């Protein structure tokens, strides 16, 4: 066989064709097997590279609503001589809950952007909550749908003041208490923040849905439908009371004298 294929060009050519075909076929199968065993390594490398690319995408990066500390208008008086009392800062809601007894939501604005605990929070529709805690770029807000929440409110039509609470049951109903039974109240009456609240007065809270009588008191228990749909809360305003510290200082001095 060696002499035949070595010294006979025809048989040599035929042998080379057959041998090349067999070798090529074996090589193809070898590469398939080799590729199979290297597939996991290649997939791991592809995932690693994809992860690097994903982490560089622009949508993965988000700045706070304002890059620096908010500074109030240097002109603290308007043209009529009134001194500024409230300063508004917009913020984006980045987390929210409405199904717990004590609900909070998180906004992307913190101490670096001028937010402090106890500042009030509004939406375009009305009362949302009160700032509970802050970090440099984020704040948690105690929602009005929180059993610990207490908001001073008044009836728009008659002016009587009471307090808004939530019983933890229905997120579409809050309760207005301390309204005397002598007051004429009916379904559809508007409920606003009072002048005794940390909120700016006259801010929409909601509308009376049901008028109930408390058996053990001489007051109503009014079921109020909030102006806000808390399940859709997206953008809010943090409100700073620029005169709050002066008022608190005076009231604390009174307490010490007593």
Band (243; pLDDT cuts 50, 70, 90): confident
Q: What is the rounded average pLDDT of the residues 222-248?
A: 93
pLDDT in tens, 56-110: 655 555 556 554 455 555 456 665 667 788 999 999 999 999 999 999 999 999 9
What is the pTM assigned to this prediction? 0.74
Those residues with Cβ within 8 angstroms of residue 73's Cβ, 6 or more apart along the chain or in another chain? 84, 87
pLDDT in tens, 11-51: 555 555 555 566 656 665 655 655 555 566 666 666 566 55
> Which of 83-92, 127-136, 172-181, 220-229 is predicted least confidently?
83-92
C-alpha to C-alpha distance for 239 and 122, rounded to whole angstroms: 7
DSSP element (H, E) containing 16: helix 9-55
Polymer length in residues for the chain: 258
- At 159, phi and psi to the nearest 5? 90, -5
pLDDT in tens, 57-69: 555 555 565 544 5
* Bridge partners (DSSP) listed for residue 213: 220
> What region does 33 belong to: left with phi over 0, alpha with psi -120 to 50, or beta?
alpha
Q: How far is CA 79 from the centre of its chain?
A: 37
**Burial group, residue 15, by CB count within 10 angstroms (0-12, 13-18, 19+):** middle
């Amino acid at each position: 066989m060696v002499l035949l294929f070595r010294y006979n060009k025809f048989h040599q050519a035929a042998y080379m064709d057959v041998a090349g075909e067999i070798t090529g076929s074996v090589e193809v199968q070898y590469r398939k097997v080799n590729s199979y065993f290297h597939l996991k390594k290649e997939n791991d490398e592809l995932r690693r590279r994809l992860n690097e690319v994903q982490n560089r995408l622009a949508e993965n990066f988000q700045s706070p609503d304002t890059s620096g500390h908010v500074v109030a208008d240097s002109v603290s008086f308007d043209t009529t001589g009134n001194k500024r009392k409230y300063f508004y800062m917009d913020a984006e809601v980045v987390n929210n809950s409405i199904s717990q007894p004590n609900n909070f939501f998180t906004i992307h604005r913190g101490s670096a952007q001028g937010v402090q605990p106890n500042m009030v929070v509004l939406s375009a529709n009305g009362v949302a909550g009160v700032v509970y805690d802050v970090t440099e770029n984020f704040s948690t807000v105690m929602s009005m749908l929180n059993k610990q929440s207490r908001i001073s409110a008044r009836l728009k039509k008659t002016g009587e003041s009471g307090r808004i609470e939530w019983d933890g049951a229905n997120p579409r109903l809050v309760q207005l208490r301390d309204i005397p039974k002598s007051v004429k109240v009916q379904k559809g009456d508007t409920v606003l923040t009072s002048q005794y609240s940390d909120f700016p007065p006259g801010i929409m809270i909601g509308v009376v849905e049901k008028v109930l009588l408390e058996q053990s008191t001489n007051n109503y228990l009014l079921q109020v439908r909030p102006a806000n749909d808390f399940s859709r809360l997206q953008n809010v305003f943090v409100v700073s009371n620029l005169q709050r510290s002066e008022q608190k200082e005076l009231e604390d001095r009174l307490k010490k004298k007593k």
